[in-house]
Amino acid sequence: MSDAVAAPVSSRPPALVLGAAGFLGLNLVDALVADGQQPRCGRRARTNVLALRQRKVPLVQADFDAPETLREAMKGIDVVYHLGGHYPRLSLDLEKERHIGLTRLERVLDAAAETGVRRLVYVSSTATVAPRTDGSGSTEVDLFDTPPTWGAYHDLKWHLEARALAEKRWEVVVACPGACLGPWDLRMGTSTMLVGLARGLDVPHPDGLVSWVDARDVAKGLLALGTMTDPPRRVLLSAESIRLQSLLEVAAAFYGVTAPPALSDAEALAFADAEEHRAAEGGPRARLARELVDLIIHGPFIDATRSRHQLGVTYRPLDETLRDFDAWARRVRFIPTKSTQEAAP
Find residue 121's DSSP bridge partners. Answer: 81, 173
- For the CB of residue 47, give the shortest distance to other proteins in the complex, in Å: 7
- For the CB of residue 236, give the shortest distance to other proteins in the complex, in Å: 29
Task: Report the residue number, 323 or 331, with the smaller CB distance to other proteins.
Answer: 331
Task: Fill in the DSSP letter of residue 299.
Answer: P
- Pattern of binders to other proteins over 218-257, x per CB under 8 A? ----------------------------------------
In degrees, rounded to 5, the angle at the alpha carbon of residue 198 between the alpha carbons of residues 50 and 47 is 20
Task: Report the residue number, 21 or 237, with the smaller CB distance to other proteins.
Answer: 21
Rule CB under 8 A: say whether 340 interacts with other proteins: yes
Contact present, 107 and 66 (Cβ < 8 Å) = no
- The answer for residues whose C-beta is within 8 angstroms of residue 89's C-beta and 6 or more apart is none
Task: Report the residue number, 53 or 277, with the smaller CB distance to other proteins.
Answer: 53
- Pattern of binders to other proteins over 283-322, x per CB under 8 A? -xx-------------------------------------
- List helix spans (H) across the chain: 23-34, 50-55, 67-74, 94-115, 152-165, 192-198, 215-227, 244-255, 265-280, 290-297, 305-310, 318-331
Q: Report the SS3 class of residue 261.
A: coil
- From 44-52, 269-277, 289-297, 308-316, span contacting other proteins (CB under 8 A): 44-52
Rule CB under 8 A: say whether 53 interacts with other proteins: yes
Task: Report the residue number, 18 or 108, with the smaller CB distance to other proteins.
Answer: 18
- The answer for residues whose C-beta is within 8 angstroms of residue 154's C-beta and 6 or more apart is 127, 128, 147, 148, 291, 294, 295, 298
Rule CB under 8 A: say whether 188 interacts with other proteins: yes
- For the CB of residue 192, give the shortest distance to other proteins in the complex, in Å: 11
Rule CB under 8 A: say whether 266 interacts with other proteins: no
Give the C-alpha separation, 222 to 166, whole Å: 20
Q: Are strands 59-61 and 171-177 parallel, antiparallel or unpaired?
A: unpaired
Give the C-alpha separation, 170 to 248, whole Å: 42
Contact present, 82 and 54 (Cβ < 8 Å) = no
- From 129-137, 142-150, 183-191, 215-223, span contacting other proteins (CB under 8 A): 183-191
Task: Give the H/E segment covering residue 82.
Answer: strand 79-82
Which of 4, 92, 162, 186 binds other proteins (CB under 8 A)? It is: 186
Which of 27, 37, 47, 190 binds other proteins (CB under 8 A)? It is: 47
Give the C-alpha separation, 320 to 87, whole Å: 28
- From 76-84, 146-154, 182-190, 305-313, span contacting other proteins (CB under 8 A): 182-190
Q: Are strands 209-214 and 240-243 parallel, antiparallel or unpaired?
A: antiparallel
Task: Report the residue number, 135 or 284, with the smaller CB distance to other proteins.
Answer: 284
Q: Report the SS3 class of residue 213.
A: strand
Rule CB under 8 A: say whether 342 interacts with other proteins: no
Give the C-alpha separation, 299 to 294, whole Å: 8
How many Cβ atoms from other residues are within 10 Å of residue 56's Cβ? 8
Give the C-alpha separation, 247 to 242, whole Å: 7
Rule CB under 8 A: say whether 274 interacts with other proteins: no
Rule CB under 8 A: say whether 54 interacts with other proteins: yes
- From 113-121, 152-160, 185-193, 295-303, span contacting other proteins (CB under 8 A): 185-193
- For the CB of residue 48, give the shortest distance to other proteins in the complex, in Å: 4
Rule CB under 8 A: say whether 279 interacts with other proteins: no
Rule CB under 8 A: say whether 337 interacts with other proteins: no
Q: Summarize as ranges the residues that interact with other proteins (CB under 8 A).
A: 46-51, 53-54, 186-188, 284-285, 331-334, 340, 343-345
